[in-house]
Structure 1
């Protein structure tokens, strides 16, 4: 495949869109984690609230954040990602060997 073929191949457009979605999920995860970990966890230990025996900042940033990310990834993969063939197709519509 030459360097200009990827501009015509629709798989690259799909892969780029899915990569941007992945980057968005990573950024969301980082902002969620950072916000709870440093937002709630920066106070004095004596004032911490606890959920299931864990500090609230840890529970929300790590436990709840993990569960939310699992749900988001499942939703994104199920509804936004497409199944793409890895076989190269020639102009005749058959795969190249």
Structure 2
């Protein structure tokens, strides 16, 4: 069984960053699902095309990838912090 180290700052940082990662993954899924099934559920005859791709595919897969990649870069740059791997020794 893993002992939960609540006093260690590294665990609080890792926990916060994990929740940010879960939020980004949920945003990515909602974006993809909304465009893929929202626009993709129309009859094929009603599709519009962007760069030769159906609009639902372009927005869900191509643009969605770009948006999420930019969001991940922004989050890593401004919200994630560097944490040392070495254990800090208690001050005596």
Aligned counterparts, 1:10-49, within 5 A: 10-49=9-48
Any unmatched runs of 5+ in structure 2?
none
2:7 alignment counterpart: 8
Local SS of the residue matching 1:36: helix
TM-score, length of structure 1 as denominator length: 0.90
- Equivalent residue of 2:6, what SS? helix
Hey, what's the Cα distance between the residues in 1 that align with 2:55 and 2:6? 49
For this pair of structures, how many residues does the alignment match? 91
**TM-score for the superposition, normalised by structure 2:** 0.94
Specify the alignment match of 1:54 in structure 2.
53
Deviation at 1:13, TM superposition (A): 0.4
Instruction: Determine the structure 1 residue equivalent to 2:75.
Output: 76
For the aligned residues, what is the CA RMSD? 1.4
Structure of greater relative contact order (alpha carbons < 8 Å, 6+ residues apart):
2
Higher Rg of the two aligned structures:
1
Which SS does the other structure have where 1:84 is aligned?
coil
Segments of structure 1 that go 5 or more residues without pairing to the other structure are none
